[in-house]
Amino acid sequence: MAQATLRHDETGDVPVLGPGHTYGTVTDKISSIVLTEPPRPGWIFGFAVSFVLLLMFLFAVLNLLVRGIGIWGVNVPIGWGFDIVNFVWWIGIGHAGTLISAILLLLRQDWRTSINRFAEAMTLFAVSCAGLYPLLHLGRPWLFYWLLPYPNTMALWPQWRSPLIFDVFAVSTYATVSLLFWYVGLIPDLATLRDRAKSRIGKVIYGFLAMGWRGSARHWHRYRTAYLLLAGLATPLVVSVHTIVALDFTVGIIPGWHTTIFPPYFVAGAIYSGFAMVLTLSIPLRSYYGLKDFITDKHLDNMAKVMLVTGLIVTYGYLMEAFMAWYGGNPYEEFMILKDRPTGPYAHTWWLLLLCNCTIVQLFWFRYFRTHPIWLWVISIVINIGMWLERYVIVVTSLHADFLPSSWGMYHGTIWDYMTYYGSIGLFLTLLFLFIRVLPVISITEMRELVHEVHERGHARGGPAVTPGTAHP
């Protein structure tokens, strides 16, 4: 893919940066959203809606704390419902950030530059939403620290053979590394904001967060090293976190869960949904804030290609699941995968899932759909819904009909399940709206670097050179 990107750039096909940009214009454009512009009506409206949803979330959680998880639809035999579905959905969405930041950085993909900050923020907020679900699922969330190995008066120690305890560490490590990665990347930009802030309070807050960044050569050297090390650390996490989430299921001997294909196709699904969410959010963002020079059609095109690849891997996963159910000769597995899911009481979710995840993504074979933002946006939302349905099908159908018909049952989310789910979207969007207003949504530092690189490349080709202007931290 590295080759393809270069070739596109060299032929001047669709650039990763709009023409005519200098260090100054890039800095002005990105920092103005935070520093000089008053909140736009669209932002205020969006924030208000998200905040109302957040309040609904808090209400639903408060009710849960007061009355217990009996308010949810979960009950024997279906002990995992919306809580786990949403957990997996959110944590999957959170995977795009690290993939874009770490793996694409190590692979030197320069198109990651303008979307990495935004995708990392999205990752953090998605992981925050994801992390809440297992805690709420505990029933007594205030005893969450029992999940950790610490010297307690009960002489209790976690069960290390259970992937559920791996999960605690996987998700918390992921959250920590993502936060550090995001924050380290922000430091030079925070210094820029500190230097450009007009108000005293702005200077103090950004100055405090910039940790004394002066842009000296030594600073840059250390920054580079730290950033690369963190990228190295974050890379295995892209595959490890969702692998462990997949193990949560596969270690159980429930039909439909106990398969070895789960970890790889969960990881692919996570990246699939993560990129879908990046597209869902970045298309309106770039249009509303006039950032089309930075998040160009080329970015959208590339993300669509990543989604096509991961979508095909996910489809392959479904096919293998079906094949193994038939080939393995286990009657319970065969019943679950080949009979209950396509024709059972939850068949509508299964067919919708195939439509959303496997069928609609095929449109990305056509350049037309990859380059028209409105199509991309609609398809990315469809895929987000599809990935949610995938988790619903996996969690609910497998539990609702296991080995003995005497232990079969049905599950439906209650009003509180739905309120918690939509409320967590409110939490996610509220954080995102705040992020847009208080931090640069695109990395100013890396965009300046990109200006320089594009300029150098222009020199090398002997084409019209872009004047980068003077460097300023």
Q: Which residues make up the interface to another protein (CB under 8 A)? A: 150-156, 194-195, 203-204, 207, 211-212
Q: Which CA distances in Å does 118 have to 33, 97, 277, 285, 355?
A: 14, 8, 11, 10, 29
Minimum CB distance to another protein smaller for 30 or for 210: 210
Closest CA to 120 of 103, 133, 135: 103
Query: Measured from the CB atom, is 81 or 188 closer to another protein?
Result: 188
Integer Cα distance of 94 and 322 in angstroms: 28
DSSP 8-state code for residue 78:
B
Least distance from another protein to the Cβ atom of residue 206, Å: 9
Smallest distance from another protein to CB 153, Å: 4
The residue among 204 and 319 lying less far from another protein, judged by its C-beta, is 204
Sign of the alpha-carbon dihedral angle for 66, 71, 76, 81: negative
Q: Whole-angstrom Cα distance, residue 95 to residue 267?
A: 8
- Looking at beta carbons only, is 107 or 156 nearer to another protein? 156
Q: How far is CA 158 from the centre of its chain?
A: 29
Q: Work out how close the CB of 212 gets to another protein at its nearest, in angstroms, rounded to a whole number.
A: 7
- Least Cβ distance, residue 191 to another protein (angstroms): 11
CB of 153 or CB of 470, closer to another protein: 153
What region, left, alpha or beta, does residue 12 occupy, with left being phi > 0 and alpha being psi -120 to 50 degrees?
Answer: left
Q: 5 near 306, Cβ under 8 Å? A: no
Angle ∠(232,90,422) on CA atoms, nearest 5: 155
Tokens of 469: 């202007």
Our CB check for another protein shows the closer of 2 and 143 to be 143
User: Which is nearer to another protein, 214 or 348 (by Cβ)?
Assistant: 214
Nearest-approach distance from CB 190 to another protein, in angstroms: 12
Between residues 194 and 286, which has the closer beta carbon with respect to another protein?
194
The least distance separating another protein from the CB of residue 154, rounded to whole angstroms, comes to: 4
In the bound state with another protein, the residue whose beta carbon lies nearer, of 35 and 378, is 35
CB of 26 to another protein, least distance (A): 21
State the Cα torsion 201-204-208-214 to the nearest 10°: 140
Q: What CA–CA distance (Å, rounded) separates 206 from 75?
A: 49
Euclidean distance between CA atoms 272 and 380, whole angstroms: 9
Distance CA 97, CA 125 (A): 10
Q: How far is the CB of 139 from another protein (least distance, A)?
A: 14
Q: Which helix (H) or strand (E) is 313 found in, with range?
A: helix 297-328
Nearer to another protein, 66 or 154 (CB): 154
Residue 68 contacts residue 139 (beta carbons within 8 Å) = yes
Q: Is 75 helix (H, G, I), strand (E, B) or coil?
A: strand
∠333-338-339 over CA atoms, to 5°? 100
